[in-house]
A and B are shown apart, each in its own frame.
Chain A
């Protein structure tokens, strides 16, 4: 009897390990995460508008229908990325997601404090390789470090009422992301 109980207990303990293992490994094995869902419609290192969510379907679940959305699917393997997004009338934000979906940075138009959100995205390694003087002369440049080589930048512009959606889309259409020096 006790022997069976031991097997039972062993099974439950092993189950706990299986549970934690699957939870931790799932993000790296997921084939239907946001990055994978957007990959077919988003070219690498360019800003691509994303269709608005509708009852018939949406690119991602739980999208806010009051926002115009564009994404830049980035790949930093050939160098740092420059992002510029003009600020729309109401509210504009730029959020950064690592390849595993972690939101590591987000900034809105007011925090950027200008008429455009402008920043440089680079890996930690690329940041370390940046010459010191360049860092100083460009002190007002906003530098964001990406924890992964690839990832997603999501640009959102609010349309406070449905009639302003085209304006919000226009604002995002002027946004750019490109590899520096190319």
Chain B
């Protein structure tokens, strides 16, 4: 009897911890080999055959296809430089320059990777569309209501993520933060 109850207990714990850990890692994301620059994080290895099993499983579950290493690299941010989580009801300012790349795009998604409906029909910017200052730097305001300059609408969504993709770039797994790769700073400002 003790044996039966004991093994039942063990199996229950095994199922709960095992499947719980799988669920947790797949929904939260724990991919290894991250390159972090400021508030931005990229996982360049997910675009190579050296992808880790966790990232592979997460992609299989979500249906996302990683950006191939010969194509580019994707940086994701879900909070600002002070680690304040993005809120679509707040004004958030991106400022600075991007690492060397032939093109880059900035896109705003909900946490599941869907575009967010907004009155302007704008979901992101490409490096060619952006209005820059004389020194080549730019400022993008991510806000629920229209702003002058580069305005990226949030559609008022509570949570969102920003993905900055660099195409044809030397940035990769060996890149370290610093002079060679400067990502725009992010600051969450006033909330309405």
Chain A residues proximal to chain B, CB less than 8 Å: 3-4, 7-8, 10-19, 21-24, 26-27, 30, 32-34, 36-37, 53-58, 60-67, 90-91, 93, 95-97, 100-108, 110-111, 147, 152, 154, 156, 158-161
Contacts and interface: CB of A to CB of B under 8 A. Distances in A.
A155 to B, nearest CB: 11
Interface of B: 2, 6-7, 9-19, 21-22, 25-26, 46-49, 51, 53-54, 56-57, 59-72, 102-103, 105, 107, 109, 112-117, 123-124, 126-129, 155, 163, 165, 167-168
Contact of B10 (A14, A22, A101): A14
Contacts of A19: 17-19, 21-22
A105 B70 CA distance: 7
A103 B10 contact: no
Chain B, interface SS category? mixed
Contacts, number: 206
B115 A102 contact: no
22 contacts: A11-B11, A12-B13, A12-B17, A13-B14, A14-B13, A18-B15, A19-B17, A26-B26, A27-B56, A32-B63, A34-B64, A61-B62, A62-B62, A62-B113, A64-B163, A64-B165, A91-B102, A102-B49, A103-B46, A103-B48, A106-B67, A106-B71
Nearest to A28: B60
Given A62-B163, A95-B68, A102-B51, A16 B18 contact: yes
Nearest to A67: B105
Contacts of A3: 2, 6
A65 B115 contact: yes
Chain A interface, >50% SS class: mixed
A7 B12 CA distance: 11
A65 B114 CA distance: 11
A76 B137 CA distance: 47
Given A7-B10, A11-B13, A61-B62, A26 B115 contact: no
A34 B106 CA distance: 22
Contact of A108 (B10, B11, B70): B70
A43 B83 CA distance: 45
A13 to B, nearest CB: 8
A26 B61 contact: yes
Nearest to A109: B168
Nearest to A29: B60
B114 A58 contact: yes
Nearest to A8: B13
Nearest to B74: A62
Of B11, B126, B127, chain A has the most CB atoms within 10 Å of the CB of B126
Contacts of B72: 93
A103 B51 contact: yes
A22 B24 CA distance: 12
Given A8-B9, A11-B14, A152 B65 contact: yes
A55 to B, nearest CB: 4
Contacts of A24: 53, 57
A30 B64 CA distance: 12
